[in-house]
Amino acid sequence: MKKALITGVTGQDGAYLSKFLLGKGYHVIGMIRRSASSDVIGERLRWLGILGDVELVDGDLLDLASLVRLMSTHKPDEVYNLAAQSFVATSWHQPILTGNVTGMGAVNMLEALRLTHPEGRFYQASSSEMFGKIQAEKQAETTPFYPRSPYAAAKLYAHWMTVNYRESFGLHASSGILFNHESPLRGVEFVTRHITDGVAQIKLGLAHELKLGNVNATRDWGHAGDYVKAMWLMLQQDVPDDYVIATGRTVSVQEFANLAFAHVGLKAADYVKIDAARLRPAEVDVLLGDASKAERKLGWKAEVQLEQLAAEMVDADIARYQRKAQ
């Protein structure tokens, strides 16, 4: 039985990846940072019905000793580093924390693997936010990066350090440059889930408006359940490499809102209000990924269409509020 260690196991991607790997017969070990909210920390795993199937262990990206101990104890075949301070807006308010966790945390994972279990395979969760102020109409692996937030800069450091450990020490270390990927498990602070949660509340009469920031920003949105398959495929390759994972379709925040409202028979224009407080200090206007390399080398291609994704998220949020009312 193969063993996989996942950091960020209680997040959206960690939960979907855990379910995927369990389906492949893996023993899944999830690293969690001990906190006073441990009673609710596994809610996403519980939502997918797999909380009891994942071995949860204590560790912290900022504590190299804990990572060395985990690697030495479990000797995982595959390590997926998904943990990060992952909310872009927060990174302007907490740039040092973001740099430490999102940037240096990845290097701590790489160093722990190098020191104790260098034969293990490593996946780094890189981000399309690294492209930032885009240098090409469609962004591929060779497109220059131009990060526009502390989060993106921290991700870029982690990305290049993954390349460096691969080239310097021969680690099987790959990065997935994932474009935006959503699901019913997305945090409500992210714009897609903020929209679908708002639509659910409005449909059920719990709210009367939805506040958004820059509705003209466009993103390449896919389903997290699709994207975790790409993570796994990268670590099955003989040669490690970096891959853009995207749908190749970009739509605006406004268009996503239109889809979500239309799913419940409403018009976004009747409820959306622009809130200047939600605007970013530096905006990433457009992201559009070119995943042709992943399709060619991994045999991966996005399956869930945006319309399906929006509908699934709205339905899940409506169901959540209906359960609360019972």
CATH code of 187-219+249-287+305-325, in short, is 3.90.25.10
Question: Is 86 noted as a catalytic residue in this protein?
Answer: no
Query: DSSP characters for 3-53?
Result: EEEEETTTSHHHHHHHHHHHHTTPEEEEEE---TTTTTTTHHHHHTT-GGG
Query: DSSP characters for 207-265?
Result: -S-EEES-TT-EE--EEHHHHHHHHHHHTTSSS--EEEE--S--EEHHHHHHHHHHHTT
Question: Is 174 noted as a catalytic residue in this protein?
Answer: no
Catalytic member of 80, 151, 157, 243: 151
Catalytic member of 127, 128, 149, 174: 127
The pLDDT assigned to 261 comes to 98
Question: Tokens 């497109």 identify what position?
Answer: 143
CA within 13 Å, CB half, 178: 26
| Nearest Cα residue to 300 out of 214, 234, 241, 224 | 234
The pLDDT assigned to 24 comes to 98
CATH 3.90.25.10 residue spans of the chain: 187-219+249-287+305-325
CATH 3.40.50.720 residue spans of the chain: 3-181+221-245
Token pair listed for 182: 């959503």
Decide if 82 contacts 11 (C-beta within 8 A): yes
**SS3 of 157-206:** HHHHHHHHHHHHHCCEEEEEEECCEECCCCCCCCHHHHHHHHHHHHHCCC
Question: Is 18 noted as a catalytic residue in this protein?
Answer: no
Token pair listed for 106: 């990845």
Token pair listed for 268: 């976004």
The pLDDT assigned to 89 comes to 82
| Nearest Cα residue to 273 out of 214, 197, 199, 212 | 212
Write down the pTM of the prediction.
0.94
CA distances from 23 to 99, 103, 151, 195, 287 (A): 34, 31, 32, 31, 32
* Domain 3-181+221-245: homologous superfamily in CATH: NAD(P)-binding Rossmann-like Domain (3.40.50.720)
Decide if 302 contacts 247 (C-beta within 8 A): yes
Q: State the amino acid at position 234 in one-letter form.
A: M
CA separation for the pair 171, 159 (Å, rounded): 14
CA separation for the pair 76, 40 (Å, rounded): 26
CA separation for the pair 225, 302 (Å, rounded): 10
Catalytic member of 18, 80, 111, 129: 129
**Using N-to-C axis directions, what is the helix angle for 191-203 and 253-263, rounded to 10°?**
30
Angle at Cα 7 formed by Cα 52 and Cα 176, nearest 5°?
120
CA separation for the pair 170, 260 (Å, rounded): 46
The pLDDT assigned to 88 comes to 84
The pLDDT assigned to 195 comes to 98
Q: pLDDT means per 10 residues in the chain (326 residues)?
A: 96 97 98 71 93 96 97 98 87 93 97 97 97 96 96 97 98 98 95 97 97 95 98 98 98 98 98 91 90 98 97 98 90
